[in-house]
Amino acid sequence: MSEKKEPSAWDGFKAFLTRGNVVDLAVAVVIGAAFTSVVNSVVKGVINPLIGAIGTQNLDSYSSCLKGPCEKAADGTVTSGVMILWGSVLGAALSFVITAAVVYFLMVLPMAKYLARVEARRKAKEGTQEVIEVTELEVLKEIRDTLLAQRAQGQGPGSGPDER
């Protein structure tokens, strides 16, 4: 009687790592990290100067004082009061919106259109097969009707005296 050896934790881990989804996820994370630097460059190089035409180019400098007289030290830390740094939130929101728009318009939308075309081709192919099947069904009905007509006239198979 042989005992089945359970796979070790290491074998399970190797199987997990070599599974396609994990590798795809790792590639997506690496590409996403690289893409983040591109988006940050666009925000700092294009968006911030456009906003700088109205005010300052550094979005982090936009803030509001919530409580008391707000004072900042030379290194940018708040020494007194409660400061709301809404400029950095705006910069992060712009980065997110730009990233989401690029991902949607350059990746999601083209992929959805591609998948829709593939689905349409598949349905068209199935539709063609259904037409062929319907046509074959019609031919079989015609053959049946012809055989029944021949039997009724005494010409076809099953019309002899031996067969009932």
Within a domain: residue 103?
A: yes
Residue 62 within any structural domain of the chain: yes
Structural domains in the chain (count): 1
Angle at CA of residue 158, ends 153 and 161, nearest 5°: 85
Write the CB contacts of 35 (distance below 8 Å, at least 6 apart in sequence).
Answer: 99, 102
pLDDT tens-digit profile of 88-106?
Answer: 888 888 878 887 887 788 8
Residue 5 belongs to some domain of the structure: no
Phi–psi pair at 6, nearest 5 degrees: -70, 145
Answer yes or no: is 29 within a domain. Answer: yes
Residue 81 resides in a domain: yes
Dist CA 164 CA 157 (whole Å): 11
Assigned domain for 161 exists: no
- Residues of the chain above pLDDT 70, percent: 85
What CATH number does the domain containing 92 carry? 1.10.1200.120
Give the residue numbers spanning the domain of 61.
10-153
Task: Tell me whether residue 159 is in a domain.
Answer: no
Q: Is 72 a member of any domain?
A: yes
- Encoding tokens for residue 6? 């359970």
Gap between the Cα atoms of 160 and 107, Å rounded: 72
Is residue 77 within 8 Å of residue 63, measured between CB atoms? no
pLDDT in tens, 128-147: 666 666 678 888 888 999 99
Quote the pTM value. Answer: 0.49
